[in-house]
Amino acid sequence: MIVVTDETPLLRAENLTKYYDSSGGFLDSLLGNSQDVKAVDGVDLELYEGETLGVVGESGCGKSTLARALLRLVEPTDGSVYFQQRVEEDGEPAGRREVDLTTVSSDDLRDLRTDLQYIFQDPFSSLNPRLTVGDIIGEPLDIHDIATGDERTERIYELLETVGLNPSHTHRYPHEFSGGQRQRIGIARALAVDPEVIVCDEPVSALDVSVQAQILNLLEDLQDELGLSYIFIAHDLSVVEHISDRIAVMYLGEFAEVGSTDEVFSPPYHPYTEALLSAIPEPDPLWEGDQIFLPGTVPSPLDPPSGCRFHTRCPQIIQPAAYDLEQDVWRSVVDLKLRVKDAETLESIATVPDETPADDATSRTSIRELPSAQFESVIRSEYDLPTELSDSSAERALSQAIDELYEDNVTGATARLDDAFTSPCEKHHPEPAQTGTNHRIACLLQDERYDGDRFEAVDADSGSGSDNAVADD
Pick the binder of ligand ADP from 4, 36, 44, 60 (CB under 6 A).
Answer: 60
CB of 120 to ligand ADP, least distance (A): 11
CB atoms within 10 A of CB 87: 11
Residue 251 to residues 55, 268, 340, Cα–Cα distance (Å): 10, 17, 24
Q: Which residue stretch of 63-71, 272-280, 354-362, 418-426 sits at the interface with ligand ADP (rule: CB under 6 A)?
A: 63-71
Residue number, 303 or 324, with CB nearest to ligand ADP: 303
Element (H, E) at 11: strand 11-21
Q: Note whether 229 and 10 are within 8 A (CB).
A: yes
Q: Is 446 exposed, middle or buried (0-12, 13-18, 19+ CB in 10 A)?
A: buried
Give dist(CA 424, CA 35) in Å, integer. Answer: 27
- What does DSSP say about strands 197-201 and 229-234: parallel, antiparallel, or unpaired? parallel
Whose Cβ is closer to ligand ADP: residue 64's or residue 414's?
64
Residue 65 contact among ligand ADP, Mg ion, none, beta carbon within 5 to 8 Å by kind: ligand ADP
Nearer to ligand ADP, 34 or 217 (CB): 34
Q: How many chain residues bind ligand ADP (CB under 6 A)?
A: 13
Q: Is 55 in the site for ligand ADP (CB under 6 A)?
A: no
Q: How far apart are the first and last CA of the chain?
A: 46
Q: How far is the CB of 145 from Mg ion (least distance, A)?
A: 32
Stretch that binds ligand ADP, among 55-63, 178-186, 436-444, 446-454 (CB under 6 A): 55-63
- The one among 17, 52, 64, 244 contacting Mg ion by CB under 5 A: 64
CA distance readout (Å), 410 to 188, 398, 406: 59, 13, 9
**Site for Mg ion contains 229 (CB under 5 A):** no
* Range in contact with Mg ion (rule: CB under 5 A) among 64-72, 260-268, 346-354, 424-432: 64-72
Contacts of 359 (CB under 8 A, 6+ apart): none
CB 259 within 8 A of CB 436: yes
**Does residue 77 belong to the site contacting ligand ADP (CB under 6 A)?**
no
Closer CB to ligand ADP, 127 or 250, in the complex: 250
DSSP assignment of 422-470: --HHHH-PPPPEEEETTEEE--GGG-GGG-TTHHHHHHHTT--S-TT--
422: partner contacted, choices ligand ADP, Mg ion, none (Cβ within 5-8 A by kind): none
Contact by Cβ (8 Å): 159, 192: yes
Q: Which of residues 24-53 bind ligand ADP (CB under 6 A)?
A: 37, 39
Residue environment code for 220-246, b if the CB has 16+ CB neighbours within 10 A, otherwise e = eebbeeeebbbbbbbbbbebbbebbbb
Instruction: Tell me which stretch binds Mg ion (CB under 5 A): 60-68, 155-163, 372-380, 451-459.
Output: 60-68
Looking at 47-55, 59-67, 100-108, 265-273, which segment touches Mg ion (CB under 5 A)? Answer: 59-67
Q: Which of residues 288-317 bind ligand ADP (CB under 6 A)?
A: 301
Q: At closest approach, how far in Å is the CB of 183 from Mg ion?
A: 15
Altogether, the residues listed in the chain come to a count of 473
Based on the shown chain and the rule CB under 6 A, indicate whether residue 20 belongs to the binding site for ligand ADP: yes
By the criterion CB under 6 A, which residues form the site for ligand ADP? 20, 22, 37, 39, 57, 59-65, 301
By the criterion CB under 5 A, which residues form the site for Mg ion? 63-64
